[in-house]
Amino acid sequence: MPIHDQSYRRYGGGRVPRGRAWTVIMSAGLRGCFRKRAFVALLLLSWLPFLVRTVQLYAAANFPQMALFAPTPETFRQFLDQQSTFVFFVTVFAGAGLVANDRRANALQIYLSKPMTRAEYVFGKFAVLAILLLMVTWLPAMMLLVVQMVFSGSTAFLGRNLYLVPAITLLSLIEAVMVSAAMLALSSLSRNGRFVGILYAGLIFFTDALSGVLRVVTRDTGLAWVSFSNDLAQLGDAIFRIPLRYAMPWPVALVMVLVLVAASAAVLERRVRGVEVVS
Protein backbone atom coordinates (compact mmCIF):
# COMPACT_ATOMS: atom_id res chain seq x y z
CA MET A 1 0.00 0.00 0.00
CA PRO A 2 1.64 3.25 -1.11
CA ILE A 3 -0.04 5.54 1.44
CA HIS A 4 0.51 4.51 5.03
CA ASP A 5 -2.16 4.80 7.67
CA GLN A 6 -1.18 7.56 10.11
CA SER A 7 -4.15 7.13 12.41
CA TYR A 8 -4.10 5.58 15.87
CA ARG A 9 -3.11 1.94 16.10
CA ARG A 10 -3.75 -0.27 19.08
CA TYR A 11 -0.75 -1.55 20.96
CA GLY A 12 -0.04 -5.07 19.77
CA GLY A 13 3.01 -5.93 21.83
CA GLY A 14 3.42 -8.08 24.91
CA ARG A 15 2.02 -7.06 28.26
CA VAL A 16 3.34 -7.55 31.72
CA PRO A 17 1.14 -9.94 33.73
CA ARG A 18 -1.38 -8.27 35.98
CA GLY A 19 -0.42 -7.63 39.56
CA ARG A 20 2.87 -5.91 38.78
CA ALA A 21 1.61 -2.38 38.55
CA TRP A 22 3.13 -1.72 41.96
CA THR A 23 6.58 -1.96 40.40
CA VAL A 24 5.74 1.02 38.21
CA ILE A 25 4.69 3.05 41.26
CA MET A 26 7.81 1.95 43.08
CA SER A 27 10.25 2.76 40.29
CA ALA A 28 8.63 6.11 39.60
CA GLY A 29 8.81 6.98 43.29
CA LEU A 30 12.45 5.95 43.58
CA ARG A 31 13.39 7.84 40.43
CA GLY A 32 11.63 10.91 41.79
CA CYS A 33 13.62 10.74 45.01
CA PHE A 34 16.97 10.24 43.33
CA ARG A 35 16.33 13.16 41.04
CA LYS A 36 16.55 15.49 44.02
CA ARG A 37 20.07 16.51 44.84
CA ALA A 38 19.21 17.24 48.45
CA PHE A 39 17.98 13.70 48.91
CA VAL A 40 21.08 12.20 47.35
CA ALA A 41 23.14 14.35 49.70
CA LEU A 42 21.12 13.08 52.64
CA LEU A 43 21.67 9.48 51.55
CA LEU A 44 25.39 10.05 51.20
CA LEU A 45 25.45 11.67 54.63
CA SER A 46 23.68 8.64 56.07
CA TRP A 47 26.61 6.51 54.99
CA LEU A 48 29.05 8.62 56.98
CA PRO A 49 28.76 6.40 60.09
CA PHE A 50 29.56 3.47 57.81
CA LEU A 51 32.78 5.20 56.76
CA VAL A 52 33.67 5.90 60.37
CA ARG A 53 33.05 2.27 61.30
CA THR A 54 35.07 1.16 58.31
CA VAL A 55 38.04 3.11 59.62
CA GLN A 56 37.46 1.54 63.02
CA LEU A 57 37.43 -1.96 61.56
CA TYR A 58 40.51 -1.28 59.51
CA ALA A 59 42.37 0.03 62.53
CA ALA A 60 41.27 -2.87 64.71
CA ALA A 61 42.34 -5.40 62.09
CA ASN A 62 45.69 -3.87 61.25
CA PHE A 63 47.00 -2.24 64.40
CA PRO A 64 47.36 -4.39 67.52
CA GLN A 65 47.19 -1.33 69.76
CA MET A 66 43.72 -0.64 68.32
CA ALA A 67 42.37 -4.04 69.34
CA LEU A 68 40.13 -2.08 71.70
CA PHE A 69 38.05 -1.20 68.70
CA ALA A 70 37.65 -4.77 67.56
CA PRO A 71 34.11 -5.44 66.44
CA THR A 72 31.60 -7.34 68.52
CA PRO A 73 27.93 -8.09 67.83
CA GLU A 74 27.15 -4.97 69.86
CA THR A 75 29.05 -2.94 67.27
CA PHE A 76 26.48 -3.84 64.64
CA ARG A 77 23.62 -3.29 67.05
CA GLN A 78 24.96 0.17 67.89
CA PHE A 79 25.48 0.93 64.23
CA LEU A 80 21.82 0.25 63.48
CA ASP A 81 20.89 2.38 66.49
CA GLN A 82 22.94 5.25 65.14
CA GLN A 83 21.29 4.97 61.76
CA SER A 84 17.89 5.65 63.27
CA THR A 85 18.56 9.40 63.09
CA PHE A 86 19.02 9.10 59.34
CA VAL A 87 16.00 6.80 59.17
CA PHE A 88 13.95 9.64 60.63
CA PHE A 89 15.17 12.23 58.17
CA VAL A 90 14.93 9.98 55.13
CA THR A 91 11.41 9.05 56.17
CA VAL A 92 10.33 12.67 56.51
CA PHE A 93 12.05 13.72 53.29
CA ALA A 94 10.97 10.88 51.06
CA GLY A 95 7.86 9.63 52.79
CA ALA A 96 5.83 12.65 53.81
CA GLY A 97 4.60 13.39 50.31
CA LEU A 98 4.15 9.83 49.10
CA VAL A 99 0.38 9.79 49.25
CA ALA A 100 -0.17 13.41 50.31
CA ASN A 101 1.15 14.78 47.01
CA ASP A 102 -1.11 12.46 45.04
CA ARG A 103 -4.07 13.57 47.13
CA ARG A 104 -3.15 17.20 46.57
CA ALA A 105 -2.94 16.72 42.82
CA ASN A 106 -6.17 14.65 42.78
CA ALA A 107 -4.10 11.89 41.23
CA LEU A 108 -5.62 9.05 43.24
CA GLN A 109 -8.61 8.96 40.93
CA ILE A 110 -6.30 8.70 37.96
CA TYR A 111 -4.18 5.96 39.48
CA LEU A 112 -7.14 3.92 40.62
CA SER A 113 -8.86 4.23 37.25
CA LYS A 114 -5.99 2.27 35.76
CA PRO A 115 -5.94 -1.56 35.89
CA MET A 116 -4.33 -1.42 39.30
CA THR A 117 -5.79 -2.30 42.66
CA ARG A 118 -5.57 -0.14 45.75
CA ALA A 119 -3.34 -2.77 47.33
CA GLU A 120 -0.90 -2.47 44.44
CA TYR A 121 -0.87 1.30 44.73
CA VAL A 122 -0.24 1.15 48.47
CA PHE A 123 2.36 -1.56 48.14
CA GLY A 124 4.19 0.37 45.45
CA LYS A 125 4.36 3.46 47.65
CA PHE A 126 5.31 1.33 50.63
CA ALA A 127 8.11 -0.25 48.64
CA VAL A 128 9.58 3.18 47.79
CA LEU A 129 10.11 4.10 51.41
CA ALA A 130 11.02 0.61 52.58
CA ILE A 131 13.75 0.29 49.96
CA LEU A 132 15.18 3.68 50.84
CA LEU A 133 15.20 2.78 54.52
CA LEU A 134 16.90 -0.52 53.83
CA MET A 135 19.54 1.42 51.92
CA VAL A 136 20.20 3.35 55.10
CA THR A 137 20.06 0.38 57.50
CA TRP A 138 20.42 -3.11 56.07
CA LEU A 139 22.77 -2.29 53.21
CA PRO A 140 25.46 -0.42 55.18
CA ALA A 141 25.24 -2.94 58.05
CA MET A 142 25.76 -5.86 55.68
CA MET A 143 28.54 -3.96 53.95
CA LEU A 144 30.17 -3.53 57.35
CA LEU A 145 30.18 -7.29 57.78
CA VAL A 146 31.79 -7.66 54.39
CA VAL A 147 34.32 -4.94 55.17
CA GLN A 148 35.16 -6.69 58.45
CA MET A 149 35.89 -9.91 56.59
CA VAL A 150 37.94 -8.11 53.97
CA PHE A 151 40.05 -6.17 56.45
CA SER A 152 40.56 -9.07 58.83
CA GLY A 153 41.27 -11.43 55.99
CA SER A 154 39.14 -14.18 57.49
CA THR A 155 35.56 -15.24 58.06
CA ALA A 156 36.22 -16.20 61.66
CA PHE A 157 34.20 -13.36 63.10
CA LEU A 158 31.25 -14.11 60.86
CA GLY A 159 31.58 -17.80 61.60
CA ARG A 160 31.39 -17.14 65.33
CA ASN A 161 28.47 -14.75 64.89
CA LEU A 162 26.55 -16.16 61.99
CA TYR A 163 23.30 -15.05 63.57
CA LEU A 164 24.29 -11.46 62.76
CA VAL A 165 23.15 -11.87 59.16
CA PRO A 166 19.56 -12.78 59.98
CA ALA A 167 19.60 -10.41 62.96
CA ILE A 168 20.58 -7.41 60.85
CA THR A 169 18.10 -8.42 58.17
CA LEU A 170 15.25 -8.99 60.59
CA LEU A 171 15.74 -5.79 62.55
CA SER A 172 16.14 -3.72 59.39
CA LEU A 173 13.03 -5.26 57.92
CA ILE A 174 11.00 -4.68 61.06
CA GLU A 175 12.15 -1.08 61.18
CA ALA A 176 11.47 -0.53 57.48
CA VAL A 177 8.02 -2.09 57.67
CA MET A 178 7.01 -0.26 60.83
CA VAL A 179 8.26 3.14 59.76
CA SER A 180 7.02 2.86 56.18
CA ALA A 181 3.56 1.72 57.25
CA ALA A 182 3.25 4.51 59.79
CA MET A 183 4.47 7.21 57.44
CA LEU A 184 2.31 6.00 54.57
CA ALA A 185 -0.76 6.03 56.81
CA LEU A 186 0.01 9.55 58.00
CA SER A 187 0.65 10.67 54.44
CA SER A 188 -2.79 9.48 53.45
CA LEU A 189 -4.38 11.70 56.08
CA SER A 190 -3.44 15.01 54.52
CA ARG A 191 -2.77 16.84 51.27
CA ASN A 192 0.13 18.74 52.76
CA GLY A 193 3.47 16.98 52.98
CA ARG A 194 4.72 19.44 55.58
CA PHE A 195 1.86 18.63 57.88
CA VAL A 196 2.52 14.94 57.45
CA GLY A 197 6.15 15.48 58.41
CA ILE A 198 5.05 17.18 61.59
CA LEU A 199 2.55 14.42 62.32
CA TYR A 200 5.31 11.87 62.01
CA ALA A 201 7.72 13.89 64.15
CA GLY A 202 4.90 14.17 66.68
CA LEU A 203 4.32 10.45 66.70
CA ILE A 204 7.98 9.69 67.29
CA PHE A 205 9.13 12.47 69.55
CA PHE A 206 5.99 12.97 71.54
CA THR A 207 5.79 9.33 72.46
CA ASP A 208 9.49 9.54 73.37
CA ALA A 209 8.82 12.54 75.58
CA LEU A 210 5.84 10.79 77.18
CA SER A 211 7.98 7.80 77.89
CA GLY A 212 10.57 10.08 79.47
CA VAL A 213 8.01 11.63 81.74
CA LEU A 214 6.61 8.27 82.77
CA ARG A 215 10.10 7.10 83.49
CA VAL A 216 10.64 10.03 85.82
CA VAL A 217 7.29 9.61 87.51
CA THR A 218 7.42 5.86 88.00
CA ARG A 219 11.23 5.60 88.20
CA ASP A 220 10.94 2.57 86.07
CA THR A 221 11.19 1.75 82.40
CA GLY A 222 8.31 -0.67 82.48
CA LEU A 223 6.13 1.79 80.57
CA ALA A 224 8.72 2.44 77.89
CA TRP A 225 6.44 0.66 75.38
CA VAL A 226 4.59 3.98 75.02
CA SER A 227 7.35 5.11 72.68
CA PHE A 228 7.62 3.37 69.32
CA SER A 229 11.33 4.13 69.17
CA ASN A 230 11.75 2.31 72.48
CA ASP A 231 9.75 -0.65 71.17
CA LEU A 232 12.01 -0.93 68.16
CA ALA A 233 15.11 -0.59 70.32
CA GLN A 234 13.87 -3.28 72.69
CA LEU A 235 13.14 -5.63 69.81
CA GLY A 236 16.56 -4.93 68.39
CA ASP A 237 18.24 -5.86 71.66
CA ALA A 238 16.24 -9.07 71.77
CA ILE A 239 17.11 -9.97 68.18
CA PHE A 240 20.81 -9.31 68.76
CA ARG A 241 20.71 -11.31 72.01
CA ILE A 242 22.06 -8.48 74.13
CA PRO A 243 20.67 -7.41 77.52
CA LEU A 244 17.40 -5.58 77.10
CA ARG A 245 17.64 -1.89 77.81
CA TYR A 246 14.13 -1.44 79.26
CA ALA A 247 12.31 -3.27 81.99
CA MET A 248 9.57 -4.46 79.70
CA PRO A 249 9.24 -7.87 78.04
CA TRP A 250 10.18 -7.83 74.38
CA PRO A 251 6.85 -9.44 73.31
CA VAL A 252 5.15 -6.26 74.54
CA ALA A 253 7.36 -4.27 72.19
CA LEU A 254 6.51 -6.64 69.35
CA VAL A 255 2.80 -6.28 70.05
CA MET A 256 3.10 -2.49 69.95
CA VAL A 257 4.89 -2.66 66.61
CA LEU A 258 2.23 -4.98 65.24
CA VAL A 259 -0.52 -2.71 66.56
CA LEU A 260 1.08 0.25 64.81
CA VAL A 261 1.37 -1.63 61.53
CA ALA A 262 -2.23 -2.88 61.81
CA ALA A 263 -3.52 0.60 62.63
CA SER A 264 -1.61 2.00 59.67
CA ALA A 265 -3.10 -0.63 57.37
CA ALA A 266 -6.58 0.21 58.63
CA VAL A 267 -6.03 3.92 58.00
CA LEU A 268 -4.72 3.24 54.51
CA GLU A 269 -7.67 1.03 53.72
CA ARG A 270 -10.03 3.88 54.59
CA ARG A 271 -8.11 6.75 53.07
CA VAL A 272 -6.78 5.43 49.78
CA ARG A 273 -9.81 5.69 47.60
CA GLY A 274 -10.48 7.16 44.22
CA VAL A 275 -13.43 9.15 45.44
CA GLU A 276 -13.99 10.71 48.82
CA VAL A 277 -17.61 10.45 49.90
CA VAL A 278 -18.62 13.45 51.96
CA SER A 279 -21.83 13.07 53.85
Partner 1 sequence: MTPASAPRQPSLLFSTARIFDLSLGQMLWSRRSVFLGLLVGGPVVLAVAVRVVFALFTVGVNVNRARVPGDVVFGVMMWLLYVRFIVPVLGVFYGTAFIADEVDDRTITYLFTRPIPRRAVLFGKYLAYLVCSALLVLPSAMLVFFLIVPTGGGSIAQAFPGLLTDLGMLVIGLAAYGAVFAFVGARVRRPLLIGLLFALGWEPTVLIVPGYLKRLSIAYYLQALVVHDVPQDSGPLVILQAFRESPSLVVALMALAVIVVAALWLAGRVVERREYVLEQ
Interface positions with partner 1 (CB under 8 A): 38, 85, 89, 92-93, 96, 104, 190, 192, 194-195, 197-199, 201-202, 205-206, 209-210, 212-220
Least CB distance to partner 1 at residue 123 (A)? 26
Do residues 71 and 161 lie in contact, with contact meaning Cβ atoms separated by under 8 Å?
no
Residue nearer to partner 1 on the CB measure, 20 or 194: 194
Residue nearer to partner 1 on the CB measure, 156 or 210: 210
Least CB distance to partner 1 at residue 107 (A)? 14
Residue nearer to partner 1 on the CB measure, 34 or 206: 206
Least CB distance to partner 1 at residue 196 (A)? 10
Q: Of 42, 49, 55, which is closest to residue 83 (Cα–Cα)?
A: 49
Do residues 58 and 148 lie in contact, with contact meaning Cβ atoms separated by under 8 Å?
no
Least CB distance to partner 1 at residue 167 (A)? 28
Residue nearer to partner 1 on the CB measure, 43 or 116: 43
Q: Of 89, 122, 274, 92, which is closest to residue 193 (Cα–Cα)?
A: 92
Residue nearer to partner 1 on the CB measure, 215 or 271: 215
Least CB distance to partner 1 at residue 43 (A)? 14
* CA atoms lying within 13 Å on the CB side of residue 236: 26
Least CB distance to partner 1 at residue 49 (A)? 15
Residue nearer to partner 1 on the CB measure, 176 or 199: 199
Do residues 234 and 258 lie in contact, with contact meaning Cβ atoms separated by under 8 Å?
no
Residue nearer to partner 1 on the CB measure, 91 or 180: 91
**What is the number of other CB atoms lying within 10 angstroms of the CB of residue 35?**
9
Least CB distance to partner 1 at residue 41 (A)? 11
How far apart, in whole angstroms, are the C-alpha atoms of residue 179 and residue 61? 35
